[in-house]
Structures are given as structure tokens and as C-alpha cells.
Amino acid sequence: MYLSMPCAESTTRLLFRNLEQDELIYLPRDQVDQRFREFKLTPKFQTVIAEWEEFIESVWSD
């Protein structure tokens, strides 16, 4: 997954690690080779985004 991104691998790893530590994403391991090939959003991520959208809407509506 990291090598498919158009930026530095170390930066991508750090950003994904931070998101996982904050429980905003989940990084399941591939069953065959145990590498990370995808990420999944957590319910916490969806809640944070919904709250952010509500905040932005309230700011723009004033």
C-alpha cells in the first residue's frame, strides 16, 4: 500500500500509523503475506467527520 502512494514512503507510514493510533482507521493484514494492502475507516472516523461537517455548516450558515 505504501509504495503505491505518490509521496515519501516514510511519511505515508507515519501518517497511517498516527491515524491507526488515534483509532480513526484500521489496517487489516493480508491473509497471504501479512502485508497491509488496504485500510478501513472506523466508526470513530465517521463520527469525527460528521461532527466536523456540522461545525462547518454552522460556521457557514451564520
The arithmetic mean of pLDDT across residues 4-23, rounded, is 86
pLDDT exceeds 60 at position 2: no
Q: How confident is the model at residue 1 (pLDDT cuts 50, 70, 90)?
A: low
pLDDT of amino acid 57 = 93
* CA gap 28, 26 in Å, rounded: 6
Q: Are 4 and 12 in contact (CB under 8 A)?
A: no
The percentage of residues in the chain with a pLDDT greater than 70, rounded to a whole number, is 92
Per the prediction, the chain carries an average pLDDT of 87
CA 1 to chain centre: 13
For the chain, the domains span: 2-61
Nearest CA among 30, 49, 48 for reference residue 38 = 30
Q: Are 25 and 32 in contact (CB under 8 A)?
A: no
> Is this model's pTM higher than 0.85 or not?
no
